[in-house]
Structure 1
Amino acid sequence: MFKAQPTKGRREDGVKVEFVYCDGARDDVQLSGDWTDWRAIQMFHEGGGMWSVVTPVPPGAHEFKFIVDGEWKHSNRHPTIGIDETSLNNVRVVLPEPRIESQKTIAEPPAGSIPLSKTSRAGSRASDTGSTTGSATGSAAGSAKGSSKSKTSGGSTKKSGGLFRRR
């Protein structure tokens, strides 16, 4: 079927993915897949019949097999793809890692506004949207604190767990 080859020239980019084989092996287990052009990657014996390796894999659907003591095998513990039992490969879909586009420094809030991370005198925090009802400092928040009324949408407010949020 496929011939195991050393990992020379293997690409080092991609998402780090762990592969595990625990279907029985005497001496050696290697991983081989389409993202390496079917070149073998040595797996490490973890004890108790379990072998594993963490390797970078590009995002997308990838077929792979294990080379167990020199014999190409698929694992019944992973999803398979193929025509029949003699041509099965395991398959794994790798999702791209989430990216943070940028981290901007947030400037000091304008004078008179309530910073998001500060607590008002009434003991409630400003909402995560940055807006509060009326003035959340002093008496407005203090008088609303004892209220258990809840209003619905349309720019009105709703009390939930001590937080006042504009919805």
Structure 2
Amino acid sequence: MPASFYGTLAAADAYFADRANAGWAVASDGDRLAALVRGSQAVDSLYEPKFTGRRAGGYDQVLSWPRCDAVTVNGEVVAGDATPSAVTYAAYEAAALELAEPGSLTPVIVAARTVKREKVGPLETEYAVADTSDDMIASARPVLTMLDGLLYPLLRPVLPGILVV
């Protein structure tokens, strides 16, 4: 069976030992492995549309990397049989988030269950409500600045729009 997560458990253990992540160290092997799978899936689902190139093994390839025709923002070619360290590290960071709070990177949103206003005794709170389901999904996803920073060199450049009249 092809790999279902980036990196290895041993490498992830070393990565988090270097960063003194005690929560990772005390978790069971099974919990850490499951978190690595969920973290890798989260990286792929959130970032694959932004990666350059295409899956080297085609559509049936389990993970987004390795990729053919991938280049960095600096124009450096990424080998078609390689998974950049940044992708593996991003998957490790996502795994740590998933270990701490399973499912947090892939929230399930049910619009009918969204609370707009809540009153408990004399206190009343009204929450911001998204206008569309896309807005609701976007507002439920966490902002992952660590992953954005790690993966930035591998993402398609965002070019400013120019309107010529």
TM-score of the superposition, structure 2-length normalised? 0.20
- Larger relative contact order (CA 8 Å, sep ≥ 6): 2
Richer in helix (by share):
2
Richer in strand (by share):
1
TM-score of the superposition, structure 1-length normalised? 0.20
